[in-house]
Amino acid sequence: MKKYLVEFIGTFFLVLTVGMTVITPGAGALAPLAIGAALMVMVYAGGHVSGGHYNPAVTLAVWLRGRCAALDVPFYMAAQILGAVVAAAGVLCFKGHTTVTPLELKIIPALIAELTGTFALCYVVLNVATAKATAGNSNYGLAIGFTVTTMAFALGGVSGGAFNPAVAVGIMRMHLVDSMHLWLYFTANLGAGAIAALVFKLVNPDDE
């Protein structure tokens, strides 16, 4: 039970940071830095309990890689999405239910951007937090957080930079993206998680 609580808490603070820094008045151009930092500190805070996924795509990748029990997968994902929903409600309360204009997405570029950014995140997670060759390193949280920062700076203007189905639910609830595009994030993010697990196994065939 404590693992699921940690996943809820970490996702809550990640999505809260997204909303508070992206919705005006927010952090402006520095929002990706705050979001990456939020993920980094939450990974360090909860990684020893739950693995610090805070992302259904990461949970899928870690499960396919063989480092997450199948029984935990639906509960991790439920806790992550619930954390995002609660965080979105908090942001709307803090921001005074301000009017937000949803990002206009071009479907194909947005799909590719989400696939690319989420693949980068999941691939980094698998290599720095689950690989035998990097076991015991103290830099995994920094690497994971900076991956999100980098991808958000690079691709956020194309897709909104969710790279996480739970974050996608959160930004949809905050009206940053239209609900009709939610399928795009789930498809690209979960697909990228599966691809990252496959690539990890190809690159590290002896790491069981």
pLDDT above 90: residue 53: yes
pLDDT of 97: 74
What's the pTM? 0.96
Mean per-residue pLDDT of the chain: 96
pLDDT of 96: 86
pLDDT of 16: 98
- The proportion of the chain whose per-residue pLDDT surpasses 70, expressed as a percent, equals 100
Q: Where are the domains of the chain?
A: 2-203
pLDDT above 80: residue 47: yes
Under the banding of pLDDT at 50, 70 and 90, the label for residue 182 is very high
pLDDT above 80: residue 2: yes
Is residue 73 helix, strand or coil? helix
pLDDT of 99: 80
Q: How many CB atoms lie within 10 A of CB 60?
A: 25
- Beta carbons within 8 Å of 4's beta carbon, 6+ residues apart: 50, 75, 76, 78, 79
- Cβ proximity of 123 and 199 under 8 Å: yes
CATH number of 2-203: 1.20.1080.10
Under the banding of pLDDT at 50, 70 and 90, the label for residue 207 is confident
For the stretch 87-100, pLDDT in tens is: 999 999 999 877 88
For the stretch 115-137, pLDDT in tens is: 999 999 999 999 999 999 999 89
Q: Which of 93, 74, 112 is nearest to 195 (CA)?
A: 112
pLDDT of 208: 79
Is residue 97 helix, strand or coil? coil
Find how far residue 8's CA is from the centre of its chain.
13
CA distance 81 to 10: 11
